[in-house]
Structure 1
Amino acid sequence: MAKEQQSVLLEKYVEQLLALQAKKQEAPLNLAELKEIAESIGLSESDWQEAQNTVRQQTKVGQQHIAVANFPAAIQALQLAVNINPLAEQALFYLAQAHQLQFAQTGKKENLLAAQEYAQRVLLNNDPQLDSASIELMKTIKDSEQKQKRGKWLRLGLFAGIFLLLGLGLNFYYFSSRQAVLQEEQEVQKQWAQVENVYQRRLDLVPKLGQLLSREENTSQAKLAEIQALESQLNQSDLAQYAQQQAELSQKINALLQGLDQKSQLYRDIQIQIEGAENRIAVEKRKYNEKVGQYNQFVIQFPYNLMGYPPKAYYQTSAAGKDAQLIH
């Protein structure tokens, strides 16, 4: 028979053989069934023997590939041998071994399943020469599977540990960063308290002004009443309004002083104290704005800009002291 025709018949034989195996599933084929398929497609006895030679050749090729750790090539050669003769114990054994070694190298599940399947088929053939080797191979396959599972859990544990440490680190970093922002904010609040203190010192001088007004005209008395009324209306919850009210207080106090008896010692004492208070107010407001500037510069830097802290408003009055505005 021509070589090409023999090759075509062999391919047809393998196709029918695989189809029959699929139908029988777990039940192994026997030699009589193999020869029956061969005869049904026109393979002669010599063709059959040639096919078995191919099985032996491919088995040898597969062994050579295993020896040099070329497991994919070994699997390809041995699979061809097993397709031609599913009862070829050596081909089945080495095919199982090649899949086991490939699984140990790559960890692919399909190689593990194939190794188990072909090792079981060797045992089903009851070949005394290969049974002990097949049992050892099954143990090796099982050990490889257990090793992969342990490695998988170790990797999962390692990743979990890394993520846990990363989470703890980020959590610590977040809270330490947040604490840094809060410290900056406390500095601003402390300086604002100083601004309020010097404003209060100036307000504490208002009762002394009343002592100078006992002999003054009604106009000065009315100005003092306006100061006292404005003092009672101070609104610290609205910084813009508060700044406006303080600017008005400065104007009204200065206007009141200009209308008083400037020759008395009490007047001079109060005037010195009020001027000192005004100077101190200017100093503390400047310091407050410096703290606000530091805070605003701080919260726009990474990572503080990711925490949602808005910049604070500056406290600033006009040069004439007649109005106040917020600068952002």
Structure 2
Amino acid sequence: MDFKKFLPWIIGIGVIVLFGLWYINVTNGAVVVDQAVKKEWGNVETSYQRRNDLIGNLVNTVKGAADFEKSTLTAVIEARAKATSVNIDPTNITPEQFEQFSKAQSGVSSALSKLLVSVERYPELKANQNFLKLQDELASTENQILTARTRFNESVEAYNIYVLKNPRKLVLSDYKEKAVFKAVEGAEKPVEVKF
């Protein structure tokens, strides 16, 4: 039997098998990094949900402990409602979705900081143990949000690098670049606190 006659066929089949194995490896890798992004996005949403839950308790504590400015409480409640109405699909995160989400969350942060600043005028509220505990938990939650957002950005970076590098991007055309969290407009300016 003359193997030289079959050698081009054997090489051709070998190349096809190698390409098939490479393709499977690349698409499986894309699934792994995509799932990591979805998981980290879930962690971000969980952190924001924790903050929203705490805000409800904080508002009720403030309502019960002081004759407080209703406009400040209303602003916090409305900002919280607006923030919880913004949903993002982690499979197709766009910069526009992030801007909308960030604006809503920024509104919560702004209203919450105004509430906490105006609390300074109420010594009996500042001494309330429930309020102090909620305030500490909110500070802890803000740190959790920062950590979750940072980890999300790291997972998006790994995803984007994976799907955008050549030659993988030739076979991963269905996987689009994902957006990352960015600072909200004006975040570089220091916060002005007025009493």
TM-score, L = length of structure 1: 0.47
Q: Distance in 2 between matches of 1:282 and 1:318?
A: 13
Inter-partner Cα distance in structure 1 for 2:151 and 2:41: 9
Name the structure 2 match of 1:160. Answer: 9
Q: Within 2, Cα distance between the matches of 1:266 and 1:158? A: 80
State how 1:177-326 maps to structure 2 within 5 Å: 177-209=26-58, 210-214=60-64, 215=66, 216-237=68-89, 238-260=97-119, 261-307=125-171, 308=173, 309-318=175-184, 321=187
Query: Do the aligned partners of 1:208 and 1:270 also contact (CA within 8 Å) in 2?
Result: yes
Distance between the aligned counterparts of 2:36 and 2:76, measured in 1?
36
Shift of 1:273: 0.7
Aligned residues: 171
* Deviation per residue, 1:56-110 (Å, 9 max, x gap): xxxxxxxxxxxxxxxxxxxxxxxxxxxxxxxxxxxxxxxxxxxxxxxxxxxxxxx
Verify the 8 A CA contact 2:76 2:108 in the aligned structure 1. Answer: no
Partner of 2:122: none
Give unpaired runs (5+ residues) of structure 1.
1-149, 323-328
User: Which amino acid in the other structure matches residue 311 of structure 1?
Assistant: E
CA RMSD of aligned residues (A): 2.5
User: Which has the larger Rg?
Assistant: 1
Q: How far apart in 2 are the matches of 1:213 and 1:256?
A: 11
Residue 302 of structure 1, CA deviation: 3.0
Q: Aligned partner of 1:270: which letter?
A: L
CA distance in 1, matches of 2:85, 2:99: 14
Mark the CA change 1:252 to 1:284 in structure 2 (over 3 Å): closer, same or farther.
same
Shift of 1:160: 3.1
Query: What residue identity is the alignment partner of 1:222?
Result: T
Q: Is the 8 A contact 1:191 1:288 kept in 2?
A: yes
Residues 292 and 313, structure 1, Cα contact 8 Å, conserved in 2: yes
- Paired residue type of 2:98: L
> Shift of residue 187 of structure 1?
1.8
Q: Which has the higher contact order (CA 8 A, sep 6+)?
A: 2
Q: How high is the sequence identity, in percent, across the aligned residues?
A: 24
Are residues 217 and 302 of structure 1, via their aligned partners in 2, closer, same or farther at CA, if it must alter by over 3 Å? closer
Residues 23-49 of structure 1 show CA distances to partners (whole Å, capped at 9, x for unaligned) of xxxxxxxxxxxxxxxxxxxxxxxxxxx
- CA deviation map 1:113-164 (0-9, x unaligned): xxxxxxxxxxxxxxxxxxxxxxxxxxxxxxxxxxxxx96x972x44333322
CA–CA distance in 1 between the matches of 2:154 and 2:34? 12
Alignment map for 1:81-160 (pairs within 5 Å): 155=5, 157-160=6-9
Give me the whole-angstrom Cα distance separating, in 1, the residues matched to 2:127 and 2:28. Answer: 56
Where in structure 1 do 4 or more consecutive aligned residues deviate above 6 Å?
none
Residues 247 and 317 in structure 1, CA contact (< 8 A), matched pair in contact too: no
- Structure 2 length-normalised TM: 0.75
Question: What letter is aligned with 2:71?
Answer: T
* Shift in CA distance, 175/239, structure 1 to aligned 2, threshold 3 Å: same
